[in-house]
A and B are shown apart, each in its own frame.
Chain A
Amino acid sequence: MTEPRFEYGVSLYSYTGEYGVTMTLDDCVEDVADLGATGLEILGEAHVQDYPNPPAAWIDAWFARLERYGLTPTCYGSWVDTRRFGGRPMTVDEAVWQLETDIRLAATLGFRFVRPKLGVVTSDLEPDPVWEPATERVLDLAAEKGIVICPEIHWPSVIRSKVVDDYLAFIERTGTEHFGLLMDTGVFQTRMHHRRGGVASRLGEGSARPPEVPVVPVSDLEDVLDHVVHVQAKFYEIDDDLRDHYIPWAEFLEIIVRRGWSGYLSSEYEGDYGVGRAADQLRRQHALIRRLVTSA
């Protein structure tokens, strides 16, 4: 394998269940630095105090913390909750307001990427059509703030889909450099993981079940990699022999290293809940990935 050009990051989503319970924001950020990552990803609505208007003292503490631990802000996760207003769809103005709010806050905190999680209108996760006019209207602001907007390609979406085609057509039509794809490696999972622990929850009142999704070949990544600006390195479980039975890391790394892809692999642990589990599993994943890219 040639020399990898990507960098290592962690999303604070990984500490779900511990953040605010067993770990403070400081603890989480210190853990990210301690395990050897340099990129820090957060979720605006989870980790920013008094979102969307954090106090000045919180912002000062944010930058002091980044400096102390030598971390670079990478991606800021946001939501466009298109079902926010009950029985009616979200208007373009409302979606623009939400996107602008998060782009401004992300830029204030030093981030380069904003991932809007978009509401969907179909069973196969087509985004609410409001995404296109709303995103187009905030491209100038994104340019001014140095932000790239990157909706995620996330299980159960697949790469060869209308969703991805529409995003690529948007880039083509607008010619923008401030829109790209975020690839979540859960797309390539070879089997389902059912998360244990935490508060019990169910989806819906009826008998509807999540879709059966075919395994997506990692080679599909080749077609879209030039538009991928950030990777959420989603994983569920690394075993005691440092193997992952869900995500095919060797194949994935072979492609991004060979192609010289240079963004962040931002780890997203989404396995079982348990005190101390996220910190341990993140270290296992980083060891697994580093071992693969050095031994190849």
Chain B
Amino acid sequence: MIQTRGFRNRAAGDGFEVRLRLPYYRGLWTNLIEGATITVDGERFAPGDIGWSIGGVRYSPAELRASKTARWPVDVPALLSVPRPQPLSIGFHTVAAELRLRMSYIPEELQPTVWSEERRLVITR
């Protein structure tokens, strides 16, 4: 789910970006994305603060939920843009992602489906 490629500081120095590949087996209408929580070195960033970009189109979490046409395909990783007062330092960082997706065919009490992964990634500059 968490991609090595795409982990970098935002150009303006006001946060960082991380790419997620959809860990599910089919693409989704973006309405079914309940959100992603990103944690870096123990610092947690809430789903509502994270901007999304899929196939070059930017969405706020609210826009993902509202769109009638937007999709997250299996083979198109999403770029998550995370605001932070300072850029991340060059070197290793422990990056965790928790992604919540809403499945319609699973009983409600067993939803959402929550995917989680932690990886050690490198900031190069």
List the interface of chain A (C-beta within 8 A of B).
Answer: 13, 16, 19-20, 43, 45-46, 50-51, 79-86, 117-120, 122-123, 125, 128, 198-206, 208, 210
* CA distance in complex: A128, B107 (Å): 11
**Residue of B26, B104, B111, B114 touching A46 (CB-CB under 8 A):** B26
A123 touching B105, Cβ below 8 Å:
no
Of the four ranges (under 10, 10 to 19, 20 to 34, 35 or more), the interface on chain B belongs to 20 to 34
Within 8 A of A (CB), among B13-55: 23, 25-29, 31-32
Residues in chain A near residue B29, CB distance under 8 A: 81, 84
Complex contacts, A16 vs chain B, CB 8 Å:
25
* Residues of A contacting B107 in the complex (Cβ-Cβ under 8 angstroms): 120, 122-123, 125, 208
What residues on A are CB-neighbors of B111 within 8 Å? 83, 203-204
Which of B105, B114, B116, B117 makes the CB contact (< 8 A) with A79?
A: B105
| Known contacts A46-B74, A84-B32; A201 and B104 CB within 8 A of each other | no
> How many whole Å from B2's CB to the nearest CB in chain A?
9
Closest A residue, CB atoms, query B118: A200
- Known interface pairs A199-B1, A199-B23. Does A80 touch B104 (Cβ–Cβ under 8 Å)? yes
Closest to B116 in A: A200
Partner of B73, one of A51, A128, A203: A51
Whether A84 touches B26, Cβ cut-off 8 Å, given contacts A20-B74, A51-B71, is no
Secondary structure dominating the interface of B: loop
Contacting residues, chain B, for A120 (C-beta < 8 A): 104-107
18 CB < 8 A contacts A-B: A13-B25, A43-B25, A43-B26, A45-B28, A50-B73, A51-B27, A79-B26, A81-B28, A83-B32, A84-B29, A85-B31, A125-B105, A199-B116, A199-B117, A203-B110, A204-B109, A204-B114, A205-B114
Taking CB as reference atom, which chain B residue is nearest A124? B107
Q: Which of B102, B109, B112, B114 contacts A123 (CB 8 A)?
A: B109
Q: What are the residues of chain A within 8 A of B116 when measuring CB–CB? A: 199-202
A84 to B29, CA, bound (A): 8
B105 touches A117 (CB 8 A): yes
Determine the main DSSP class of A at the interface with B: loop
Alpha-carbon separation in the docked complex, A123 to B23 (Å): 25
Interface residue? B4 (CB, 8 A):
no
Q: Which residue of B lies closest to A207 (CB)?
A: B109
Interface contact tally, CB-CB below 8 A: 89
Q: Taking each of A118, A123, A201, which has the highest tally of chain B beta carbons within 10 Å of its own beta carbon?
A: A201
Given A46-B74, A79-B26, A122-B107, list of 10 further CB < 8 A pairs? Answer: A43-B26, A79-B104, A81-B104, A82-B104, A83-B111, A118-B105, A199-B117, A201-B23, A204-B114, A208-B110
Could you say which residues of chain A place their CB within 8 Å of the CB of B27?
45-46, 51
Bound complex: CA of A108 vs CA of B103, how far in Å? 27
What residues on A are CB-neighbors of B28 within 8 Å?
45, 81
Residues of A close to B114: CB separation below 8 A: 201-205
What's the nearest-Cβ distance from chain A to residue B122, in Å? 21
B25/A84 in contact, CB under 8 A: no
Question: Which chain B residues lie closer than 8 Å to A200 at the CB level?
Answer: 115-117
B89 lies within 8 A of chain A by Cβ: no
Residues in B whose Cβ lies below 8 Å from that of A13: 25
> Is A205 a contact of B112 with CB atoms below 8 Å?
yes
Determine if B109 and A84 form an interchain contact, defined as CB atoms under 8 angstroms apart.
no
A-B residue pairs, 8 tightest by C-beta: A119-B104, A46-B26, A203-B110, A199-B23, A208-B109, A45-B26, A16-B25, A83-B104
